[in-house]
Amino acid sequence: MQKGMVLKKVTLDVLNKRMKEAPLWKLVDMKITSLEWGRSEMVMEVKDTYLNVMGNCHGGITATFADTVMGAALYSMEAVTATIEMNINYLVPIEAGQTLTGRGEVLRKGKTTAVIRADLFVEQTMVATARGTYKILKENNQE
Protein backbone atom coordinates (compact mmCIF):
# COMPACT_ATOMS: atom_id res chain seq x y z
CA MET A 1 0.00 0.00 0.00
CA GLN A 2 1.35 3.42 -0.90
CA LYS A 3 1.38 6.44 1.39
CA GLY A 4 -1.90 8.37 1.19
CA MET A 5 -3.98 5.40 0.06
CA VAL A 6 -7.17 4.70 1.99
CA LEU A 7 -7.74 1.14 3.14
CA LYS A 8 -10.82 -0.44 1.60
CA LYS A 9 -14.06 -0.62 3.60
CA VAL A 10 -13.80 -4.40 3.48
CA THR A 11 -10.62 -4.08 5.56
CA LEU A 12 -12.47 -1.97 8.13
CA ASP A 13 -15.22 -4.59 8.29
CA VAL A 14 -12.66 -7.37 8.81
CA LEU A 15 -10.81 -5.43 11.51
CA ASN A 16 -14.02 -4.50 13.32
CA LYS A 17 -15.13 -8.16 13.18
CA ARG A 18 -11.77 -9.27 14.65
CA MET A 19 -12.17 -6.75 17.46
CA LYS A 20 -15.67 -8.03 18.26
CA GLU A 21 -14.30 -11.59 18.53
CA ALA A 22 -11.44 -10.72 20.91
CA PRO A 23 -12.27 -11.28 24.61
CA LEU A 24 -11.33 -7.73 25.70
CA TRP A 25 -13.45 -6.09 23.04
CA LYS A 26 -16.47 -8.10 24.11
CA LEU A 27 -16.23 -5.94 27.24
CA VAL A 28 -15.18 -2.64 25.62
CA ASP A 29 -17.18 -1.86 22.49
CA MET A 30 -15.04 0.11 20.00
CA LYS A 31 -15.28 0.60 16.25
CA ILE A 32 -12.76 1.69 13.63
CA THR A 33 -14.38 4.34 11.44
CA SER A 34 -11.44 5.36 9.25
CA LEU A 35 -7.99 4.08 8.30
CA GLU A 36 -5.52 5.87 6.09
CA TRP A 37 -1.79 5.32 5.75
CA GLY A 38 -0.43 6.08 9.24
CA ARG A 39 -3.74 7.39 10.58
CA SER A 40 -6.82 5.98 12.26
CA GLU A 41 -10.12 7.13 13.66
CA MET A 42 -12.24 5.13 16.09
CA VAL A 43 -15.35 5.68 18.18
CA MET A 44 -16.53 4.28 21.49
CA GLU A 45 -19.84 4.91 23.22
CA VAL A 46 -19.15 5.29 26.97
CA LYS A 47 -21.37 2.83 28.83
CA ASP A 48 -22.37 2.80 32.50
CA THR A 49 -20.20 -0.31 32.97
CA TYR A 50 -17.09 1.77 32.07
CA LEU A 51 -17.51 4.18 35.01
CA ASN A 52 -15.26 4.45 38.05
CA VAL A 53 -16.42 5.15 41.64
CA MET A 54 -16.49 8.89 40.84
CA GLY A 55 -19.04 8.31 38.06
CA ASN A 56 -16.67 9.07 35.17
CA CYS A 57 -15.16 6.80 32.54
CA HIS A 58 -12.39 4.77 34.20
CA GLY A 59 -8.89 5.82 33.11
CA GLY A 60 -8.05 2.22 32.22
CA ILE A 61 -10.90 2.12 29.70
CA THR A 62 -9.75 5.44 28.22
CA ALA A 63 -6.16 4.16 28.03
CA THR A 64 -7.32 0.92 26.38
CA PHE A 65 -9.16 2.97 23.77
CA ALA A 66 -6.13 5.23 23.16
CA ASP A 67 -3.82 2.19 22.84
CA THR A 68 -6.17 0.63 20.29
CA VAL A 69 -6.44 3.87 18.30
CA MET A 70 -2.64 4.06 18.12
CA GLY A 71 -2.31 0.38 17.21
CA ALA A 72 -4.84 0.80 14.40
CA ALA A 73 -2.88 3.74 12.98
CA LEU A 74 0.25 1.58 12.83
CA TYR A 75 -1.70 -1.39 11.47
CA SER A 76 -2.69 0.83 8.53
CA MET A 77 1.01 0.84 7.62
CA GLU A 78 0.89 -2.95 7.36
CA ALA A 79 2.67 -3.73 10.64
CA VAL A 80 1.86 -6.27 13.36
CA THR A 81 2.83 -4.69 16.68
CA ALA A 82 2.91 -4.81 20.46
CA THR A 83 2.90 -1.84 22.83
CA ILE A 84 6.24 -1.19 24.52
CA GLU A 85 5.11 1.84 26.53
CA MET A 86 2.51 4.57 26.48
CA ASN A 87 1.59 7.65 28.44
CA ILE A 88 -1.73 9.41 28.62
CA ASN A 89 -2.89 12.79 29.86
CA TYR A 90 -6.51 12.95 31.01
CA LEU A 91 -7.78 16.46 30.35
CA VAL A 92 -11.55 16.39 30.97
CA PRO A 93 -13.76 13.77 32.72
CA ILE A 94 -15.74 11.56 30.34
CA GLU A 95 -19.32 10.65 31.23
CA ALA A 96 -21.62 7.74 30.43
CA GLY A 97 -23.58 8.26 27.22
CA GLN A 98 -20.88 10.36 25.59
CA THR A 99 -19.25 9.22 22.36
CA LEU A 100 -15.49 9.18 22.46
CA THR A 101 -13.68 9.74 19.15
CA GLY A 102 -10.01 8.85 18.88
CA ARG A 103 -7.65 10.00 16.14
CA GLY A 104 -4.30 8.26 15.84
CA GLU A 105 -1.24 9.30 13.87
CA VAL A 106 2.08 7.51 13.39
CA LEU A 107 4.75 10.10 14.15
CA ARG A 108 7.66 7.88 13.13
CA LYS A 109 7.93 4.28 11.97
CA GLY A 110 11.36 2.68 11.89
CA LYS A 111 12.33 -0.92 11.17
CA THR A 112 11.77 -2.18 14.71
CA THR A 113 9.77 0.48 16.57
CA ALA A 114 7.25 3.23 15.98
CA VAL A 115 6.05 6.28 17.92
CA ILE A 116 2.37 7.11 17.69
CA ARG A 117 0.04 9.77 19.05
CA ALA A 118 -3.69 9.59 19.81
CA ASP A 119 -5.98 12.48 20.63
CA LEU A 120 -9.37 11.67 22.14
CA PHE A 121 -12.40 13.92 21.81
CA VAL A 122 -15.99 14.25 22.97
CA GLU A 123 -17.53 16.35 20.22
CA GLN A 124 -14.99 19.17 19.71
CA THR A 125 -13.45 18.97 23.20
CA MET A 126 -10.14 17.14 23.58
CA VAL A 127 -10.54 14.96 26.67
CA ALA A 128 -7.23 13.04 26.58
CA THR A 129 -4.01 12.76 24.62
CA ALA A 130 -1.61 9.82 24.52
CA ARG A 131 1.69 8.82 23.00
CA GLY A 132 3.10 5.33 22.69
CA THR A 133 6.11 3.39 21.51
CA TYR A 134 5.35 0.15 19.68
CA LYS A 135 7.51 -2.84 18.76
CA ILE A 136 7.10 -3.89 15.14
CA LEU A 137 6.83 -7.69 15.26
CA LYS A 138 6.46 -8.18 11.51
CA GLU A 139 5.08 -6.53 8.43
CA ASN A 140 1.56 -7.70 7.46
CA ASN A 141 2.72 -8.34 3.91
CA GLN A 142 5.20 -10.94 5.29
CA GLU A 143 2.53 -13.29 6.68
Per-residue pLDDT tens for 42-98? 999 999 999 999 999 999 999 999 999 999 999 889 888 899 999 999 999 999 999
Cβ-proximal residues to 48 (8 Å cutoff; 6+ apart), any chain: 96
133 three-state secondary structure: strand
Mean pLDDT of 13-39: 83
pLDDT digits (tens, 9 = 90+) for 109-124: 999 999 999 999 999 9
What was the pLDDT predicted at 8?
A: 52
One-character DSSP codes across 31-58: EEEEEETTEEEEEEEPPGGGB-TTSSB-
Residues linked to residue 116 through DSSP beta bridges, in sequence order: 106, 132
Higher pLDDT among residues 109 and 139, named by residue: 109
Helical H runs in the chain? 9-21, 23-27, 59-75
What was the pLDDT predicted at 18?
A: 76
What was the pLDDT predicted at 7?
A: 54
pTM reported for the whole predicted model: 0.86
* Sign of torsion over alpha carbons 11, 13, 16, 22: negative
How far apart CA 110 and CA 114 sit, in angstroms, is 6
